[in-house]
Amino acid sequence: MATLFKNIKELLQVRTEPVKFVSGKEMNIIPTIKDAFLLVENGLISDFGSMRDCPSSNFDEVIDCTGKMVMPAWCDSHTHMVYAGNRESEFVDRINGLTYEEIANRGGGILNSAKTLQETSEDDLYNQSKVRLEEIIKLGTGAVEIKSGYGLTLEAELKMLRVIKRLKENYSIEIKATFLGAHALPKEFKNTSDYIDYVIEAILPIVAKENLAEYIDVFCETGYFSVEDTNRILEAGKQYGFTPKIHVNQFTAIGGVQAGVKHNALSVDHLEEMRDVDIEALRGSQTMPVALPGCSYFLSIPYTPARRIIDAGLPLALATDYNPGSAPSGNMNFVVSTACVKMKMTPEEAINASTINGAYAMGLQDKVGSITNGKLANLILTKPINSFGFIPYSFGENHIESIFLAGED
Ligand code: NIG
Ligand code: FE
């Protein structure tokens, strides 16, 4: 099966040489080819270049892209999009003045979602989650990471992870699974140390045996899990071959970034509260900082200081954090736009952060995130637009004409 995209106004994120991620000043450059063609064979990108060099043979399909752009689909490296029900009532509580912390202390928050999920059947959870997955695909996402963490019991955590596995089997979007057993302390446990014992001894071995996750996560935060808890869970995870990808510095900076770097985390995510020492800790590491502007927007908390991070020469990825409590939206277009408006990222930086760097933050940099021969043809075809900066500029508008996963729309 060969598909030719021809007369592309501008082909974005063209990387002839494979790139792991981009950082610092490089983030401000999106390599493009104007008036381009792109050839997709058997689901993979097989050739691209200027229309002057466009191959002429009998392709199965030819798509005329006059006036439109083609770019790699969004790579959303942090979501909790397998969940049951919603937390609309807490939304109203917050409008009426309660904080996220106050709601959690009253038994709302993560424990509220866990209760609902525990009472939901696996089939029902699958059906609720697939609606969200289909929606984010329409919004241009071609690779997504999904976490457990609304189970908090062996049975319910496995339910979540099995739903993620079913989504992987049934959809052609790339999916990576993360085990987030240590997301909140269930009421049945007196302290985090006892719960961590349970996660390590009762859940982790089964998640590993059933091959249900690639990554391990923990909510390292005041009132949730300490740095010591984090060290324990990441050590144990590593014994089973799970790479850390962790929640840190959302409300308070307690040393989570340093713990992540020490354990060679693939990413440290949130980072709304960043001290200079936290930025320094990331220097020279292979750990990707990940910002979640949808969460800052929805909870009215500070935005991750993207300028300080990028201007320190570091990379940055953007993701949605799609979840029922702090970011009930999986729209990467909104994330890209919000990063520009609120975090002062340029369109180039936001697009790099949401494609190549997002791919790295879920270990998919060899498969997606750029227009490179041999990568999956997970692509966005835009509607006619003048420049790619128009995508974040005209926020809330839909600029996507179609999305292709492994070359199929
Ligand atoms: O990434 N911070 C921890 N976990 C989620 C929110 C979970 C929830 O409120 O349900 C987050 O923001
Ligand atoms: Fe999260």
Q: What is the pLDDT of residue 58?
A: 86
C-alpha to C-alpha distance for 237 and 242, rounded to whole angstroms: 5
The verdict on whether residue 258 carries a ligand-binding annotation is no
CB of 243 sitting under 6 A from ligand 1: no
C-alpha to C-alpha distance for 100 and 251, rounded to whole angstroms: 10
Two tokens, residue 50:
């200027």
Chain segment 356-404, per-residue pLDDT in tens: 999 999 999 999 999 999 999 999 999 999 999 999 999 999 999 999 9
C-alpha to C-alpha distance for 182 and 229, rounded to whole angstroms: 9
Q: What is the pLDDT of residue 400?
A: 97
Write down the CATH superfamily of domain 75-360: Metal-dependent hydrolases (3.20.20.140)
Judge whether 160 and 207 are in contact, CB under 8 Å. Answer: no
Please identify which residue in the block is written with the tokens 């939304």.
Answer: 91
- 210 CA from centroid of ligand 2 (Å): 24
Give the atom of ligand 1 at the shortest distance from the alpha carbon of 78. 1
CB of 289 sitting under 6 A from ligand 1: no
Question: Which residues in the chain come in under a pLDDT of 70?
Answer: none
Q: What is the pLDDT of residue 107?
A: 86
Chain segment 38-93, per-residue pLDDT in tens: 999 999 999 999 999 999 988 999 999 999 999 999 999 999 999 999 999 999 99
Q: What is the pLDDT of residue 8?
A: 98
C-alpha to C-alpha distance for 346 and 72, rounded to whole angstroms: 18
Strands 267-270 and 243-248, bridge-based pairing: parallel
Please give, one letter per residue, the 3-state secondary structure of 294-331: HHHHHHCCCCCCHHHHHHCCCECEECCCCECCCECCCC
C-alpha to C-alpha distance for 409 and 406, rounded to whole angstroms: 9
Fold of 2-72+370-404: Urease, subunit C; domain 1 (2.30.40)
CB of 324 sitting under 6 A from ligand 1: yes
Q: What is the pLDDT of residue 363?
A: 98
Q: What is the pLDDT of residue 57?
A: 85
CB of 375 sitting under 6 A from ligand 1: no
Q: Could you state, in order of their start, the residue ranges of all structural domains in the chain? A: 2-72+370-404, 75-360
The verdict on whether residue 150 carries a ligand-binding annotation is yes
Q: What is the pLDDT of residue 232?
A: 98
Q: Is the ipTM of this complex over 0.90?
A: yes
